[in-house]
Structure 1
């Protein structure tokens, strides 16, 4: 097992200056992100002269391996140092310290960063929590080769419908220049709003175009609804665990986030009713269908009871339905919005999982007065959602191509899910608990008692495998024994290999735990003869 310690200098090709490694000590219990700790300690060594000009730093990969962190973590630390002019990359020579450029020998010189920028990043963990950068680091993983990523919640590149988009552009782009390439209304292209409303009516939700607001991604919808309904100090109820982006969005607005546990049928309504009676929250956020990260589907009866509670306590519900149409065998229950007869439900979904995340096209469905007000809020921050992406999606819907594409996706993801489950059965210790999902992108795994997910992440990264630990999905400090694996992004051949590597790590960690327990247990008393 790796421990927090300074890493050793192993490269003879460095300059004669002290190795940068001796200045880095990581405190994994700290709320300061790991990349920030690396940046701060190397910065201090450079500014003090302990790392002089021309000293060569280790490569990102080498430093990540020695510290037991993700390569993206080191990359972010190096980027911070480079942005201040403290280091510089040279082809064939590596990354070198540039301290002299700052004229730091002069005690009266100006600071390397404008004074109004100093300390801005320090408040991230206070507002958003210690895992504030987990989403941005997640996105960055996709750019690095050699890493098998079970962390990215995005489609495999081969499943992105580039052929459909090419055909649409070849057929219609020249005749649709203004609609596809010009400005569009804040509410979204009328053609897309009409197609989205038509699709929702087919799923049992009685809406028309006036109920639809097009968004630049579903996280924007969470933020808009939060700004509309919440004031600093207001309370929001979320599931535990839940989507990381929602936790961060609500905390950034100054809301107090209250977590309610899930069971196999979804949100625990017995606990929710107790909270509603005592706290009177302003909003309930739920992912009732193939919940992220657990894959749980809220039962029909619990959906009806949830709406009854919301009506009784006059609390609106934000239903996030990113995965509802990506089911493998049995269709899930209708959306909460389909059961909503009192306009208690604000419905949110996205084409990022169904088509392509790069389109940045999602939508909200809600009462017309709310959509009108949210449009005013939206134009302050985002005057136009990507018109080209909207036009492409509208054409896919108009031509009736989405259902066939979803069938291909569901078949591919079902195959990947089964492959991952079979590999887990073959390579992993029996102590790990996994619940097979009926749709969506993720497996939620419980580790044995005494084995922490952060330890597994660190060891897995050294083996070239990325996954997510459970703590960022929790608002109550839990999740230490859970990890999320996403089967959507990696290729099929990578799934078995990645699970095999994780199996080796898990067996090693369990063996270490067993040996530690044996050493710590008192010896048996042997009676004298």
Structure 2
């Protein structure tokens, strides 16, 4: 321990019990390393730098320099509500709250629903940052096994009956980390179970616009008739994450509480970013941008699929994702993926180990997540080949897992 460390340890005042549950973000630590130009990164869900739109803040509507409404800028709220209506989710602009990235929406949900020991149902595996956020508030996790078709509605019913959860958190469309996309029948069945029980649904949907072929993308929230709901969305993956603009929509009984929590958190989200985004959404340029984004990412996905077929046969199982930003690889034998990551980083390759995506240790299996949107095609091929060499040395030979289901 250095003198500075000793001083900091001695001078730290008593902290809340909540801080004991605050864990560092592995993905943030990896991203620090991947700032080096020589590193090929498959780790974070980063949009391609060259595909992000140019940011021109001239001639924005109104004057966004002053304090604004906590709900968000009205033109942007109306644009979001119109997009949601196009998905079949009936809500108006007064049910839309603009957030500082969708991560703030996740945090607000945690504040709204979770007390110490509150049960929370979520997919296993699930979005690691949501697990981190909910854990800080004291959530007691109960994982739902996930297959290509989604969670099992009967398993959901039984889990609710065993211990009624504060809410159910799902990512039905191009799920993070697996890339799975729930079928229409599964979405309707899950909605029916939630309506029957009256349990709130928190639906996270940041990847729905990144589709590379036919896929069912109607929000489960659109099928709910009785259960309360919160729908989370983001513009980070389809515009520029540095804008830090996300949103949530919520059923009328929940919205006022989420608004008050937002007011207590940061008053309002960046008004300049909101004004720019509202203008960008107005014109045909946005739709052209989405089409170009999906086309380029589809090519990179196909490049990674071909590279995996060449280099990972026998090392892992995976499926071609219909959308989103990730491949999910279930390894063929036991592997300390955190140790493998350190070896890979020494070879200038970054990936995301699977362990942090599991809410419960007993549900884990050896896996890793690979992002295909950020690296150029030539780097994808070189990086996958190099990663296969690393994992080939780290995987303990064992029986090939019989299926992709968790």
Q: 1:428 touches 1:506 (CA, 8 Å); kept in 2?
A: no
Decide which of 133, 136, 149 is 2:41's aligned counterpart. 149
Report what 1:487 is aligned to. Answer: 372
Separation in 1, partners of 2:387, 2:360: 27
Report what 1:289 is aligned to. Answer: 173
Q: How does 1:75-474 map to 2 (within 5 A)?
A: 84=4, 112-113=7-8, 115-117=10-12, 126-128=20-22, 132-162=24-54, 165-166=55-56, 169-170=57-58, 172-173=59-60, 176=61, 178-179=63-64, 181-342=65-226, 344-474=228-358
Q: Aligned in 2, Cα 1:144/1:479: closer, same or farther, shift over 3 Å?
A: farther
SS of equivalent to 2:97: strand
Separation in 1, partners of 2:257, 2:111: 11
Residue 458 of structure 1, CA deviation: 2.5
Separation in 1, partners of 2:378, 2:365: 29
**Unmatched 5+ stretches in structure 2:** 399-406
Q: 2:27 touches 2:352 (CA, 8 Å); kept in 1?
A: no
Q: Aligned in 2, Cα 1:419/1:384: closer, same or farther, shift over 3 Å?
A: same
Q: 2:198 touches 2:227 (CA, 8 Å); kept in 1?
A: no
Q: How does 1:6-85 map to 2 (within 5 A)?
A: 43=1, 46=2, 84=4
Separation in 2, partners of 1:505, 1:364: 41
Separation in 2, partners of 1:508, 1:142: 23
Residue 297 of structure 1, CA deviation: 0.6
Residue 475 of structure 1, CA deviation: 1.3
| Equivalenced residues, count | 398
Choose 1 or 2 for highest CA Rg. 1
Report what 1:108 is aligned to. Answer: none
What per-residue deviation string (whole Å, max 9, x for no partner) do you get for residues 215-250 of structure 1? 001111111122112221111101000001111111
What per-residue deviation string (whole Å, max 9, x for no partner) do you get for residues 29-83 of structure 1? xxxxxxxxxxxxxx2xx56xxxxxxxxxxxxxxxxxxxxxxxxxxxxxxxxxxxx
Q: RMSD of aligned C-alpha atoms?
A: 2.3
SS of equivalent to 1:503: helix
Residue 214 of structure 1, CA deviation: 0.5
What per-residue deviation string (whole Å, max 9, x for no partner) do you get for residues 303-327 of structure 1? 1111111111110100000001110
Q: 1:307 touches 1:344 (CA, 8 Å); kept in 2?
A: no
Residue 254 of structure 1, CA deviation: 1.0
Residue 370 of structure 1, CA deviation: 2.1
- The TM-score normalised by the length of structure 1 is 0.71
Separation in 1, partners of 2:198, 2:45: 34
Q: 1:429 touches 1:507 (CA, 8 Å); kept in 2?
A: no
Separation in 2, partners of 1:260, 1:324: 22
